[in-house]
A and B are shown apart, each in its own frame.
Chain A
Amino acid sequence: MLVPIPWLKDYIEIKLPIKDLMWRLTEIGLTSEKLEKINGEEVLDIEVTANRPDWMSILGVAYEIAAIQGNKVKEPQIKELVKPPKTLEIKLNNNFQAIERWSAIIISGIEIKPSPEWLQKRILSVGLRPINNVVDITNFVMFEMGMPMHAFDYDEIKGHEMTVMLSQGGEEFTSVDELSYKLPKDAIIIKDKERIIDLAGIKGGLNSGIKANTKNILLHSTINNPALIRKTSIALGLRSEASAIYERGPDKGGTVKAIKRAANLILETAGGEVTSNLIDLKQKEFKPYSLDLNLKRLNEVVGIEIKKDKVVKIFSSLNLNPKAKGEKITCIIPTKRADLKIEEDLIEEVARIYGYNNFPLTLPEGKVKEEKIAYFKDDKIEKRLREIMIASGYSETMNYSLISEKIIKDSLSDPEKHIKIKNPVSLDYQYLRSSLIPSLILAAKLNTDKAVKLFEIDKVFPEEKYKVSAIGKGIEFREFKGAIDLILERLGIENYEIIFEVEEPIFHPAKSGTIKVKESNIGYFGEINPQVRENFAVKEILWAFELDLDALKDGSKIKTFVPVSSYPPQIEDLTFVFPPKTRIGEIIITIKKLDETIKNVELKDIYENAFTFKIVYQSNQKTLTDKEITKVREKIVKNIENRYGGKIK
């Protein structure tokens, strides 16, 4: 909403320096961050919230400034209209679902000409183009009072009958600015005997518009159904100053006053005389109503005691005619302040004029809840995983949840199994991802470093389950696998099993596996399918895993402390030769379980089919003798030979 300062000064004396005024207006709800020059005049560009149609007017802004400064608004003088000596005929058929109030008047014998200079200046200062005296006045009054209005050429209203109805959809309509529209369903239209002459609340029709030779006009101001206006203006992509006011809902009590104001100005600048009674169609009266504020409640909500006198003064400054009786303050709410509906609304009025920045700062005093709230999220596992991944040299990425059909297909997955957005911003972001890995492949591709290690922790769809996924480029399998081993070890996940199969085609069928604990799948890991790499145009071998956070949490346990032995360990290397397809990971687990003096087993070296293990022997009771160690070693050799066909070297 543009508010030219010189225009504003017609109604209010501005006492504060402009910068201070702008901040005070912002503080009380009229966000004023921009001051521009339009046509040589200083113009404030304010943001008007959806609840305040009255701020869509220069007078409305003047009233707020008066409340801030404590001075008075100079209302424009409106002369009562004289009773018409003769009247022109008009018949109005309303649909009150579409138009709640319809006020109109006919003025005859006017002369259409360019507006006087003062009026042109005002119109230019709000960024509009002066058209002629009558049209300019309707715009002027809309900006001044926040009441949209329209002037019809009376003689173009066929049959002198106007009927309000909702469009069927598909009707042709040409607006005053000579643009053609195909109307959507449920637009509010006004028809004369023959044709659509107005797209109510949005644009007037070309056929009934003011022309250079127009002599008689019908001027109307209406209260239109805000939802219907909004729907139509969105459907047509047509947002105007008027539609912005209608969506917020203008002053239902203000149509007659606005008609009188405009009629005054028209008689002044275009001549003519009033030739109808003031028509005012409505099903009920729109009158000020009373709303109470309890002082005790005010103080409870805001947290400080604001004295009765102060509250009364604030309400008076807002023209709410307060009457105090004991703890109760009764306000009379004018129709233009329809946003004031409940006590809390009055509390906000007091607080904002009191000044939000004048309140002290406190913290809640109540007790902290002991029980868990609904939807409680335990984020320990996520934090732990993040630490482990970062310590393992992986950097964290955040990628979009929305991906393209192409990415899904390139990952050898099925778009049908993904949730699709009906109205995507672009085809690149049309589906919700079901795995984090495709985004990580793109991320790996983006980075040209020799070794790339990236991870992400996020939800996948449709289940909205959290996953931790990682990708490695330019690294060996064992380096990649290290992060998985570390996760399982640090989370205390034992007794897991690696199944040499993966359901996800994004993985290489021969070089990928599933990690299982009991019957539950913790996740998948392995090499990315070469076909997928080809699709994504990645040359290097990629390793990836995707683990489920809930499954990791379920499988993890708090570790039990093992006392530290005070006797020295004995360390030796044992090399075995194994037949092909031996699972070395299982050998290590087997060796560890053979004897309680075997404290640790690590794979130290691989040479062809010979594997060297570093074995740590240690007892908690004594220093082991060579003889005792020999016995354990023999046990290892025998077991490995019998169970796996491995031969000691």
Chain B
Amino acid sequence: MNEDIINLKNEAFAQINTAKSIDELEEIRIAYLGRNGKLTNLIKKIKDLPLEKRSQTGLLINETKKNIENLLNDKKQNLIKSLTEKREWFDLTLPGTKPEMGHKHPLKEVLEEVKDIFKYLGYQVAEGPEIESDYYNFEALNIPKDHPARDTQMTFYLENGKILRTQTSAMQVRVMEKTKPPFRVLVPGRNFRFEQVDASHGFEFWQVEGFAVDKNIRFTDLLGTISFVLKSLFGKETKLRFATTNFPFVEPGVDTYLQCTICHGKGCAFCKNTGWSEIMPAGMVHPDVLKRGKIDPKKWQGFAFAIGLSRIVNLRYGINDLRILTTPDLRILSQF
């Protein structure tokens, strides 16, 4: 029996030494040490030996098992080492096989990002009608009929006397009427204006309106919110400046200029050579508007702002023609 053990060991050693792969080693391990392995079977036979020989043979088998295991491990380590040391040529530039995914529209991509930023700031998203009344779109916002501010918001009229909303601000009084302050609201949506289509105008465009009403909302909160949002969108280094402007439904009124992200302020066709891009009009909610929203302007203050979504998309991706966003051409869409 002892001889069998030694032969087995030699046989195993020979096989291990000539093994070429880790898989082969595993096969050898199973052949000798596995549940039905050659050495395992010998162990099972120990009980057939005379008593006095059992312990010596047992020791020999154990030692042999250990030797085989050690050699297997050594050989395995060597094989792994040689596999990695050989530095076989492997082409990492071979193209992968991509799953055929579709593409998200860049405007929706940016919109989701904008919504995430505002949700982080505690805003809730609201959705309003695009077929709107003149009251909510204009009158409630201090823009009576024949107000010059209507010049910049030429309107589509419907046969039922309603209009297509020209600004998401139309939602300000709607939400105020039905929501108890304090609140922070974000209204993304489409607007319509009577404009001929060209590179920088369209009769349909997207805005994101935001407004907040609370006991102690301050002008500096408005400036801080604008800055936080634009820096979240365009990066910490973004340069902003604020200017006074007039919208009938805010007082004081703010216009936000973003340093052109295309030319970094040097002036280019994109920013009409000014180096700055008008991006986020805003202001403190006018007391008349709060009153129409059934909110007491003596107790509550608010701010409001609007983001031209298409403009943000264009600045981010360097798109110089608004029409690109509404052209369903895969050569365009698949770039995003």
Contact = CB atoms under 8 A, between A and B. Distances in A.
A226 B127 CA distance: 36
Contact of A230 (B126, B148, B287): B148
Interface string B197-223: 100000110000000101111111101
A356 B216 contact: no
Given A356-B242, A364-B212, A376 B252 contact: no
Contacts of B177: 374
Interface residues of B, number: 90
Contacts of B107: 398
Nearest to A372: B124
Interface in A425-469: 425, 429, 432, 439-440, 442-443, 446-447, 449, 452-455, 459, 461-462, 464
B174 interface: yes
B287 A344 contact: yes
Interface stretch (B12-20, B30-38, B46-54, B327-335): B327-335
Nearest to A361: B224
B146 interface: yes
B252 A363 contact: no
B169 to A, nearest CB: 14
Contacts of A391: 101-102
A424 B158 CA distance: 10
Given A348-B244, A367-B182, A342 B287 contact: yes
A265 B107 CA distance: 59
Contacts of A462: 131
Contacts of A383: 112
Contacts of A357: 241-242
Interface stretch (B2-10, B58-66, B82-90, B183-191): B183-191
A33 B328 contact: no
A443 B102 CA distance: 15
Contacts of B131: 419, 432, 461-462, 464
Interface residues on A, range: 35 or more
A122 to B, nearest CB: 27
A392 B103 CA distance: 10
Interface string B90-127: 00000000001111110110001001000001101111
Interface in B126-178: 126-131, 145-149, 156-160, 164, 171, 174-175, 177-178
Nearest to B107: A398
Interface string A294-326: 000000111110000000000000000000000
Contacts of B261: none
Contacts of A459: 130, 190
A421 B156 contact: yes
Most interface-central of A26, A342, A359, A373 (chain B CB within 10 A): A373
B212 to A, nearest CB: 6
B330 A395 contact: yes
Most interface-central of B174, B252, B325 (chain A CB within 10 A): B252
Nearest to A449: B330
Contact of A348 (B103, B187, B190, B253): B253
A375 B146 contact: no
A422 B156 CA distance: 7
Contacts of A446: 327-329
Interface in A338-369: 342, 344-345, 347-348, 351-352, 356-357, 359-369
Contacts of B328: 397-399, 439-440, 442-443, 446-447, 454
A625 interface: no
A375 B215 contact: no
B158 A347 contact: no
B100 A393 contact: yes
Contacts of B67: none
Contact of B146 (A230, A301, A351, A367): A230
A425 B246 CA distance: 28
Given A357-B241, A363-B121, A389-B102, A399 B326 contact: yes
B179 A400 contact: no
A394 B102 contact: yes
Contacts of A361: 220, 223-224, 227-228
A31 interface: yes
Contacts of B149: 50
A345 B220 contact: no
A464 B129 contact: yes
Given A301-B219, A360-B220, A462-B131, A390 B103 contact: yes
A87 B287 CA distance: 52
B269 interface: no
A344 B252 contact: yes
Contacts of B196: 425
Interface string A392-423: 11111111111000000000000000011111
A313 B325 CA distance: 50
Q: Would you call the interface of chain B mostly helix, strand, loop, or mixed?
A: mixed
Contacts of B157: 421-423
A244 to B, nearest CB: 8
Contacts of A449: 330
B256 to A, nearest CB: 10
B243 A27 contact: yes
B148 A364 contact: no
B330 A375 contact: no
B203 A347 contact: no
Contacts of A23: 241
A295 to B, nearest CB: 15
B205 to A, nearest CB: 11
A28 interface: yes
A27 B242 contact: yes
A347 B251 contact: yes
B56 interface: no
B284 interface: yes
Nearest to A345: B251
B301 interface: yes
A305 to B, nearest CB: 11
B156 A362 contact: no
B254 interface: yes
B286 interface: yes
Contact of B225 (A359, A364, A372, A432): A364
Given A367-B182, A419-B158, A347 B145 contact: no
B195 interface: yes
Given A301-B284, A344-B287, A365-B216, A51 B246 contact: yes
B57 interface: no
A227 B194 CA distance: 21
A425 B104 contact: no
Contacts of A393: 100-102
A423 B214 CA distance: 40
A271 interface: no
A303 B252 CA distance: 13
Contacts of B156: 421-424
B274 interface: yes
A262 to B, nearest CB: 26
A366 B108 contact: no
Nearest to A445: B328
A373 B183 contact: yes
B248 interface: yes
Contact of A303 (B125, B175, B221): B221
A29 interface: yes
Interface of B: 100-105, 107-108, 112, 115, 121-122, 124-131, 145-149, 156-160, 164, 171, 174-175, 177-179, 182-185, 187, 190, 192, 194-197, 203-204, 212, 214-221, 223-225, 227-228, 241-246, 248, 251-255, 272, 274, 284, 286-287, 301, 325-330, 333-334
Given A362-B224, A375-B175, A459-B190, 5 more contacts: A27-B244, A50-B147, A344-B286, A356-B223, A462-B131
Q: Ordered nearest first, which 6 A-B pairs have the shortest CB separation?
A: A303-B218, A348-B252, A443-B328, A303-B220, A374-B178, A368-B122
20 contacts: A23-B241, A49-B245, A52-B246, A230-B146, A301-B219, A302-B219, A344-B286, A344-B287, A363-B121, A364-B212, A368-B122, A369-B124, A375-B175, A376-B126, A396-B102, A398-B108, A401-B190, A423-B157, A423-B194, A454-B330
